[in-house]
Amino acid sequence: MSQSPSDPGAELLRLAESDPARLMVVAAGVARRARDEGDLALASVAARALGIAAFHVTDLHVAARHLRESIRLAQRAGSPELAAEARLRLSFVWCVRGRMDQALAEVDRALPDLRGAGRARAEAQRAVIHNHLRRPDEALAAYRLAVPALIQAGDHLWLQRVLSNRGIVHGLRNEFAAAEHDLHEAERLCRRLGLDLSLAIAWQNLGWISALRGEVPAALRYLDLAERRFRRLDTHQLCWTLADRTELLLSAGLVAEARRRPRRPWPSSRGASARWACPRPGCCSRARRTWKATTSRRCARPAARRSASAGSTGRSGRWWPGSWR
């Protein structure tokens, strides 16, 4: 579905990448009005935007519920293309929950109804699943198909996401120059489009790349930038940043710095869906345990060795930003 910048649906999707908490309020109102006016296509896009935002600020169950509603509304509107776009988003929810067969099935169901840039977005989503399945070569092959098509279509919203994801694949392969190139280009696009959340995610991943290269001051600088933005937006990625900083400091032997409590509390679980409050399950509790380990030098040294191995923070299992976009 091609959307112009003035399209209200396109603006909702952009806001979901910029300020998801604000989007939750705005999109709920748009969805109600669209239903009242019989505009089921716009209601479907609004529900999809709510699903994207819910992933960042509530939980996976809420995100999946909104995305399934988006699919139903698109089907009632007679728009298989809109339903397919929602399926791509739902695919990542299954991916994060470890249901890879369901994730791939959603992509396969979406593909027949997508053309051009839509098919490129599907390939990008398939690449994320390959990455979660530890298939970096297949992921890069899918990105090679997706990126030129997104550039040709001028789909910069998805392009920044794909570049951020591809940068992580390069990082996992120790291809640091290529990783930084992709992440800096994603950063540039985020600034241009005003995507505050995506920009913070790019900074966090640049911090990770800097840490892998042994550039601790640069890594801490990027993580500080990301932390400030995540706190302002009140999103779950904050707990990842706190965990990543703690493990980085331990891996560098900076036990005293790692032992300090965060300037503000750890993110709290929200409501009854606490176990899905963070899209990376166990991250907040792991971060707290890592911090507590630093109160004893006897515990800190093994923790530092664990952090130093396999790229600091176990990125092979992390949630990758662009995939959910």
Give the domain CATH number at 63: 1.25.40.10
Q: How far is CA 313 from the centre of its chain?
A: 16
In a domain, 76, yes or no: yes
In a domain, 245, yes or no: no
Q: Quickly list H helices, the chain.
A: 8-18, 20-36, 40-57, 60-76, 80-96, 100-110, 117-132, 136-153, 156-172, 176-193, 196-212, 216-233, 237-251, 255-259, 283-293, 297-308
Number of domains making up the chain: 1
Find the domain containing 99 and state its range.
1-105
In a domain, 247, yes or no: no
What is the torsional sign of CA 121, 73, 319, 244?
Answer: positive
In a domain, 13, yes or no: yes
In a domain, 126, yes or no: no
pTM of the complete model: 0.81
In a domain, 97, yes or no: yes
In a domain, 34, yes or no: yes
Question: CA 103 to CA 92: how far, in whole Å?
Answer: 6
In a domain, 155, yes or no: no
Residue-level pLDDT, tens digit, the chain, 325 residues: 444 444 789 999 999 999 999 999 999 999 999 999 999 999 999 999 999 999 999 889 999 999 999 999 999 999 999 999 999 999 999 998 899 999 999 999 999 999 999 999 999 999 999 999 999 999 999 999 999 999 999 999 999 999 999 999 999 999 999 999 999 999 999 999 999 999 999 999 999 999 999 999 999 999 999 999 999 999 988 888 888 888 888 888 888 887 775 555 555 444 333 333 344 444 445 545 544 544 444 333 333 333 333 333 334 334 333 333 3
Q: Which of 105, 214, 122, 168 is nearest to 317 (CA)?
A: 168
pLDDT at site 59: 84
Phi/psi of residue 104, each to 5°? -65, -35
